[in-house]
Amino acid sequence: MSDQRPWLKNYPSGIPANINPDEYPTLVDMFNDTFKKYGSRTAFSCMGKELSFTQIDKKSRAFGAYLHSRGLQPGDRIALMMPNLLQYPVALFGALRAGLIVVNTNPLYTPREMRHQFTDSDVKAIVIAENFAANLQKILGDTNIQAIITTSIGEMLGFPKKHIVNFVVRNVKKMVPSYSIPNTVTFSDALKQGKRFSLQEHKGEPDDVILHQYTGGTTGVAKGAMLTNRNLVANMLQIRAWMGPFLKEADEVALNPLPLYHIFAFSVNCLALMSFGTTNVLVTNARDLDSVIKAMKDYPISLVTGVNTLFNALVNHKDFSSVDFSHLKVTVGGGMAVQRSVAEAWQKATGCPLSEGYGMTESSPVVSVNPLDDTGRIGTIGLPVSSTDVRIVDRQGNVLAYNQPGELQVKGPQVMKGYYNRPEDTKKTVVDGWLCTGDVATIDEDGFMRIVDRKKDMILVSGFNVYPNEVEEVAAAHPKVLECAAVGVEDEKSGEVVKLFVVRRDKSLKEKELIEYCRGELTGYKVPKHIEFRKELPKTNVGKILRRELREEAKG
């Protein structure tokens, strides 16, 4: 790549080439500023209950004071393990104000995964939704957890909704397995007790680690990416710089169906959009599409963040067309590749382009995003965000020319400090300040990037590389296909061949018809040799399709 940062020439007007990552020394400084600025405006809403910036400010102070009263010290780790609830931002901001390091934890983790994460990070305290407490009980003895704060789904919804929701969750849906853990305190009690103390707010440093964000664990063991104040402040400012020209301060309403414990929603919604005075409408269970659509009808949603599978499910939902999209200005997809057919269907249904972005846990997470005006390019992950450098290298580390596939490497103030207690893994992943993403990508003369595929998902057919994304993109465009996933399976002749798992939109779809269709769009070795129809595909609870699980099944 000859010219430096060729992408800058394609930045929409009003977007700076660089941000100042030292604008706020710490994340706490940022949200103190935000709480003051937007006071009585609604910050977060969940199931119809709203909390203003001032209320979040007061409650999080009380929560931070409670943590200190329990003997927790700056630098101690606290796990947050719950779906999207109003308790999450209160606990998050309270813990950070008290100087604790937050360990975001997926509530669907098995006891084995919980044990690994809590012992690996040496977690001392946890806020956990009661639905998952039975799993905590099984492994508690293996951890150093001293303070356990439980919360119920309805706890902050006010009277009478709190009691109705909890009754349904506990007694009708039976979603709370019985558990017995001594010395737990409820979230409401923690806030009540915390009000008796005044919080000694921790004065942190830019380079302090404030978040252990565990990477999916798709490559062996899950590792805790150490993200600092400066990393998260930088990424928050980068996102704000990119969205700013298209949004109005203190005037936007964002739909937040992705869980806040996931780094995408954490940085984009909980930090960047909140710092802009946006109201975040939390969806507790995005798999319940009716609740997502209800939120879209209840609020004048101007911004949506999500993943491909969610957008696909929504545009295929019978009630989606009855939503009023007149306020919708920005839709951003991340977490996995956005398929062209889905992006086109979304734009047709809503009148708003679906802009794909790209990020990794290790980069706090946003690396690139498509311009939010009409210059975005479907099928690309857009342009690197402000203050970010990228390059494409071959296996020897040589920088490649435009449009040559190789490993994407990233440098910028959002790149993590390293993996917690894993210096060897850190050395392999961050080399001379460059984050080695493990993703195969290309970059063109205009600075637009494409992810060709994850290195480890690549299928090798007779020595030829086949990228599952490409096969899936073609198959998903067939009108009778709802969603699909491609993996490599062993083959005597060619080493591997492509197997496609398909969820049908139309029951009449036959294997032969789909293979013929793919043959018209793909060169011979890329065409699926095996097709298996399924009712559903395995997914993470962010909605990312688990190719790894399908690969293992195909082996078995």
Tokens 């609830």 belong to residue: 85
- The pLDDT score that the predictor gives to residue 219 is 44
List, in order, residues 6 or more apart from 164 with CB less than 8 Å away: 154
List, in order, residues 6 or more apart from 235 with CB less than 8 Å away: 267, 271, 272, 363, 364, 365, 366, 414
Distance, in Å, from the CA atom of 429 to the CA atom of 55, rounded to the nearest integer, reads: 41
Question: Which residue, among 376, 403, 379, 381, has the nearest Cα to 392 in the 3D structure?
Answer: 403
In the chain, the percentage of residues whose pLDDT exceeds 70 is 99
* CA trace torsion 22, 233, 448, 253 (10° rounding): -130
pLDDT tens per residue across span 218-247: 345 789 999 999 999 999 999 999 999 999
The strand ranges marked E within 334-445 are 354-359, 366-369, 383-384, 389-393, 406-411, 418-419, 430-431, 434-443
pLDDT tens per residue across span 385-414: 999 999 999 989 999 999 999 999 999 999
pLDDT tens per residue across span 430-447: 999 999 998 999 999 999
Backbone angles phi and psi of 537, in degrees to 5: -110, 145
Mind spelling out the 3-state secondary structure of 456-509? HHCEEECCEEECHHHHHHHHHCCCCEEEEEEEEEEECCCEEEEEEEEEECCCCC
Tokens 């300040």 belong to residue: 433
List, in order, residues 6 or more apart from 507 with CB less than 8 Å away: none
CATH fold of 458-555 reads GMP Synthetase; Chain A, domain 3 (3.30.300)
pLDDT tens per residue across span 319-366: 999 999 999 999 999 887 888 999 999 999 999 999 999 999 999 999
Confidence of residue 217 (pLDDT cuts 50, 70, 90): very low
Q: Where in the chain is the domain with CATH 3.30.300.30?
A: 458-555
Q: Are 161 and 49 in contact (CB under 8 A)?
A: yes
Q: Where in the chain is the domain with CATH 3.40.50.980?
A: 27-203
In the chain, the percentage of residues whose pLDDT exceeds 90 is 86
- Can you say how many angstroms the Cα of residue 416 is from the centroid of all Cα atoms in its chain? 16
Residue 198 confidence (pLDDT) above 90: yes
Q: Are 236 and 213 in contact (CB under 8 A)?
A: no
Distance, in Å, from the CA atom of 240 to the CA atom of 254, rounded to the nearest integer, reads: 14
CATH fold of 27-203 reads Rossmann fold (3.40.50)
Residue 260 confidence (pLDDT) above 70: yes
Considering the chain, what is the average pLDDT of its residues?
94
Distance, in Å, from the CA atom of 465 to the CA atom of 324, rounded to the nearest integer, reads: 44
For range 72-99, the mean pLDDT? 98
DSSP annotation of 93: H
What sign has the CA pseudo-torsion 507, 511, 512, 513? positive
* Structure-block tokens of residue 36: 């003051």
List, in order, residues 6 or more apart from 364 with CB less than 8 Å away: 227, 231, 232, 234, 235, 263, 267, 414, 415, 416
**35 membership: H or E segment, kind and range:** helix 27-38
- The pLDDT score that the predictor gives to residue 372 is 95
pLDDT tens per residue across span 45-67: 999 999 999 999 999 999 999 99
Class of the CATH domain delimited by 6-20+226-454? alpha beta
Tokens 């995005």 belong to residue: 286
Q: Where in the chain is the domain with CATH 3.40.50.12780?
A: 6-20+226-454
